[in-house]
Amino acid sequence: MAESNASIVNSNSTGGASNSTAVNATANFLLSSSSNSTTGADSNATAANETAIASTSMAESNATIVNSNSTGGASNSTAVNATANFLLSSSSNSTTGEDSNATSANGTATANLQSVISLSQILNDDPQISTIGNVNIINTGDDRENVALCYMPYLFSFEAENAIGIYEGMASVALAMEHLNTGNGTIIPELDGLNQRCPLKFVSDAFDIEAQKSVAVDTVIELTDRSRQGELIPCAILGAERSSISIPTSMIASLRGFPQISPISTSTELDDKSQYKLFGRTVPNDDGTAIPLLAKLVSWGVRYFAVLHSDDSYGNAFARGIRSAALNEASIVRVETFPIEVGADNQTISAAIKQLKDLQFTYFFGIIWGTDANNIMTEAYNQGIAGTGKHSWIFSDSMGSHVIGKNYSVGSPLEKAFRGTSVLLATGGIPGVGLDRFDKLATSIQVLGENAPDRSYLDGLYPKKPSVEIFVNIPGLVATFLYDAVVAIGLASCGLVNTTTNEINAYNFTGESLYAAILNTTFAGTSGSVVLDPVTGTRHPLSALFSLTNFVDDEDAVVGSDVIQFKGIGTDLFKSGDWVSLHPFTFNDGTVDIPPDLPALKTNENYLSTGLKAVGLTLCGFIILLALGFSYWTFHYSNKRIVRSSQPLFLYLISAGTLLMGADAACMSFPWLLTIGFSLTFSALSTKTYRINRIMQSAKRFQRIKITSMDVIKPMVALLMINIIVLTVWTVIDPLHRETVVVTQDPFDRNTETYGICSSDQGYVFLATLGTINFGCLVFAVLQAYHARSISTELQESSYIFTAMAFILVVSFIGIPVLVVAQSNVNALYFIQAGLIFVICTSILTLIFIPKIVALRKSKLTRSASFASISRHSEDEGIKVMNSPMVIVQMEEEIKDLKRLLEMQGTRNECSNDREDAKSAVDDPVDGSIGIASEQQVDANTTSDSENQNPKQVYTRKISFSSEFSSSMSLN
């Protein structure tokens, strides 16, 4: 064992100025395989922090360790002097991480990363380096044994804002290597005692690739150049963050035989083993990330959403993965994707946002980088698809923590646009939800940041100094995946070491064999169960955790009243294929109510206007009142001769039929009411007229006939029953039902204009059947009315019926074609239907009842005039009758009837029998028979003795009476 006096300088230069950390240490290194150490627990170290100028002489130091990152012409250095004994044998035991706040005897903090710090000191001592396979053999000189070293360079873009936790990621790499070197199983139990089983040691270094492919490619080419003498070669490479960078770097690394394990590159393209043979990742690919994304959107009821993605390998592959996954998700109806170049100008951004706006979607998924987020969201706000309270934005992991901790002016476009947004990402976990390994890692990283020696060492590794405070409670996006990547590489490489021999060939494994071992390594990591696909090298999505982080107001932020900051709250955790709610999600409108995925639908369903409804109900009410009024009139004057001769039963049926036709109804009840009402009305008219025609024809033949009401009701009932049977079959087999007819639709196939109709698949068959039956009834009624056209109007309504039929036919001839044309216009259709029914019902009622009412009133006036003037004179006893011309007209009609009777042939008895039947029908309407008009008037003006006279005698007597009556009229 010997003392080491070394000057170790690790430099990453980016300019003329440098930030340097100097650690002065005097150490004794014992590298034998038999030594045991409690590094970090029983170390004796003295640390002092002081500020030093880079040019200051360090001659008095036993060892000077300088990690320099130059950014300008000035130099700021921090010196840490420490004295420690490092025991780095393969059999040593460590408690590093358990006593994270260990202090030396004088109270000075000791390093938790002592093994990696010691290895860095050895490497900076310019030792002799040789390689076997992908393992570096470090010849430390003197009597110490060689060190077998697995070197894992860390390739990332060290942004000043630390948006995705890159600095915490470097700390997690160092911590994982410390746990591998010392066999610390406090986080991963599989590491417990590993240092006793595996002689390999692990170390890393950080390289800033500046988010540029060219820089990354040059770095990988240099690192994997095996021809370099005295330089470390990687056993595996860690990184990069962007898929667009990992694609070329992993291609080069694979060709040269070096595995590359990324903690965050998610492009599905990297699964192509024909090009990226040795690429793996501890994060699911974009197809895997699409699974929890769609699951969350579906849980919100989202069917339509758009994706705005960076036009690079990462964004394009992610968008393809979402489209592919959406094809297997039945609930997702439509997904639209739009590329936008990284660092796009305002004009390009405006055009892309315009495309999103034109979709009219309200949910958007942004696969964009944090550097472009402000410009994109400002334009989204300006075009009205962000910050409205109706639109929701979710971002991919490329957004990182860009929104958190920034100052936004209250009411500014960005403040309104980012409020209620969220980030969906594969994560190591969420603090305080029972994820023990994640919580331990978060605590350990925070301890490293609070411990001066550890923080000094890490600051020396960082190529750039972060502009924000690091080592917060949340490790960041990449820390857990990097920790698990280092552990996977460490366990796999240790598994390849032949521990049965002490020969140098025990470490002779290739990159291909190491990669295969990594894919077969599974363990419970800080980010969940680490299971890599043995074919693609990609982590299985159901073995990882995904979180949804919601950006809400940070009430604890110390800012002015006109400034606000957002904080991230883990609201949901995707674990084992299901989302678990941890906290209510707040949307852009400030509520937890899930917004709809499409704009509010305004559908014109073409409902009847209030005014048109009022008109229809008024017409309906008028028909009903008219039918009821005429029914009451029939009942009230049922003992009058005009009503009795018009047969009240049929008048009631006509009123009932029109009432049913005029009643308002819906769908299947409409044909019932209309058909039954029509059948009642026109069957009553036809049978009533038919009965009169039969009697008149019998009278002309001087035949005795008796037709009762029941005789004519039977065919009417038969017709009604046929209609009822057809309607019943229609109702049972294929009833009318309301059907919505779509007129127009919006781009989402939503109905913007519709109207409702009553539809039936076989309705035309039943309508044709009913139409044929009832049209036959109508024709029969018209024919009967035509045959009865010469019969006195007092006893039947043939002329009025004929007029009503003609009027109905004319209206129907015009109205029915209009009905067909107006099918799509509900208001017009309803008005025409209501108008046709109103015209049919009112024409029947008025033409049947109004003449009777007028005739009844005239008969009252006639009787009143006939007996209005009666005077008695003492010198001339008797009664003087004054009559009107109406009586003369009636008498003349009776004379004409009697003349026709004289022309008929028949015997005296037959004539006498016919007169008896006619008289009986008029005087006794209860038996249902009806007589002849001329005979009624004869019976009304002659004595009972005339029954035994022959027609010629009756006629002679009438002539005589009429002449005398006419003479009396002329005298007066």
pLDDT in tens, 220-269: 999 999 888 888 999 999 989 888 899 999 999 999 999 999 998 888 88
- Residue 795 CB burial class (10 angstroms; 0-12, 13-18, ≥19): buried
- CA–CA distance, 582 with 573 (Å, rounded to integer): 7
Specify the DSSP element, H or E, that contains 100.
none
Helix 763-787 and helix 798-821: axis angle, to 10°?
Answer: 150
SS (H, E, C) 180-245: HHHCCCCCCHHHCCHHHHCCCEEEEEEEECCCCHHHHHHHHHHHCCCCCCCCCCECCEEECCCHHH
Q: Are 157 and 470 in contact (CB under 8 A)?
A: no
DSSP string across 636-647: HTTTSHHHHHT-
CB count within 10 Å of CB 728 equals 11
Residue 938: name the closest of 952, 955, 921, 950 by CA.
Answer: 955
CB count within 10 Å of CB 858 equals 12
Average pLDDT over residues 593-619: 86
DSSP 163: T
Strand 392-395 to 363-367 pairing:
parallel
Question: What is the model's pLDDT at position 192?
Answer: 94
The token pair that represents 258 in the structure block: 């070096």
Average pLDDT over residues 594-608: 86
DSSP helix/strand/coil, 668: coil
Q: How would you label 872-894 residue by residue, b for 16+ Cβ within 10 Å and e otherwise?
A: eeeeeeeeeeebeeeeeeebeeb
Phi and psi torsions of 87, nearest 5°: -110, 105
pLDDT at 750 over 80: yes
Q: Are 28 and 85 in contact (CB under 8 A)?
A: yes
Among residues of the chain, what percentage have pLDDT more than 90?
Answer: 30
pLDDT category at 862 given cuts 50, 70, 90 is: low
CB count within 10 Å of CB 700 equals 12
**Amino acid at residue number 922:** V
- CA–CA distance, 568 with 546 (Å, rounded to integer): 15
The token pair that represents 580 in the structure block: 């678990």
pLDDT in tens, 645-687: 777 877 888 888 888 877 766 677 778 877 888 777 777 777 7
- CA–CA distance, 774 with 680 (Å, rounded to integer): 10
DSSP string across 48-61: EEEEE-TTS--TT-
> DSSP E strands: which ranges in 808-848?
none
Average pLDDT over residues 199-215: 92
CA atoms within 13 A on the CB side of 291: 18
CB count within 10 Å of CB 836 equals 18
Question: What is the model's pLDDT at position 904?
Answer: 66
Beta bridge partners of 234: 151
- CA–CA distance, 417 with 414 (Å, rounded to integer): 5
Q: How would you label 566-586 residue by residue, b for 16+ Cβ within 10 Å and e otherwise?
A: bbbbbbbbbbeeebeebeebb
Q: What mean pLDDT value characterizes the chain?
A: 75
Phi and psi torsions of 424, nearest 5°: -105, 125
User: Sign of the C-alpha dihedral, residues 583, 589, 593, 599?
Assistant: negative
pLDDT in tens, 7-28: 333 333 333 333 333 333 323 3
Question: What is the model's pLDDT at position 223?
Answer: 94
Peptide bond into 240 cis (omega under 30): yes
pLDDT in tens, 543-557: 888 999 999 999 888
Question: What is the model's pLDDT at position 405?
Answer: 82
Give the chain's length: 972
The token pair that represents 855 in the structure block: 């005739």
- CA–CA distance, 351 with 345 (Å, rounded to integer): 10
Question: What is the model's pLDDT at position 144?
Answer: 64
Among residues of the chain, what percentage have pLDDT more than 70?
Answer: 72
Residue 400: name the closest of 217, 565, 208, 242 by CA.
Answer: 242
Q: Are 774 and 726 in contact (CB under 8 A)?
A: no
> DSSP E strands: which ranges in 493-565?
523-525, 528-530, 545-553, 563-564
